[in-house]
Amino acid sequence: MATKKITITVPEELLESIRSRVDARGVSAWITEAAARRDAMDKLGELAAGLQEEHGALTDEELRATDDWLAAIDAKHDALRAGAEVKHDSGQAA
């Protein structure tokens, strides 16, 4: 990927915090990764808004089903982190 050098202005405290986590050559990579994550989240928000406009808002039942599905995924991850053997299935939220 082509890159371009730019100049940005950030609060001193933020720069100090970033520098404390990376070496001097890593600041650009850290800033690039942070900007890429923000860009991805903005695009996801645009997608969600478009889907809501096209299909309407999720119902309370759909939201509960999604919460249950995510809770099951979290429980599996917690079990894996604890060293338990977890059965994997391909089920998805309805």
Classify residue 90: in a domain, yes or no: no
Classify residue 23: in a domain, yes or no: yes
Is-above-0.75 flag for pTM?
A: no
Reported as a single tens digit per residue, the pLDDT across 1-40 is 899 999 999 999 999 999 999 986 799 999 999 999 999 9
**In 3D, which of 65, 64, 72 has the Cα closest to residue 90?**
72
Reported as a single tens digit per residue, the pLDDT across 73-83 is 999 999 999 98
pLDDT value at 90 more than 80:
no
Q: What is the pLDDT of residue 47?
A: 98
Classify residue 17: in a domain, yes or no: yes
Total domain count, the chain: 1
Reported as a single tens digit per residue, the pLDDT across 60-76 is 999 999 999 999 999 99
- Placement of tokens 């999604």 in the chain: 66
Classify residue 1: in a domain, yes or no: no
| Distance from C-alpha of 79 to C-alpha of 71, rounded to nearest angstrom | 12
Residue 54 belongs to domain spanning:
12-81
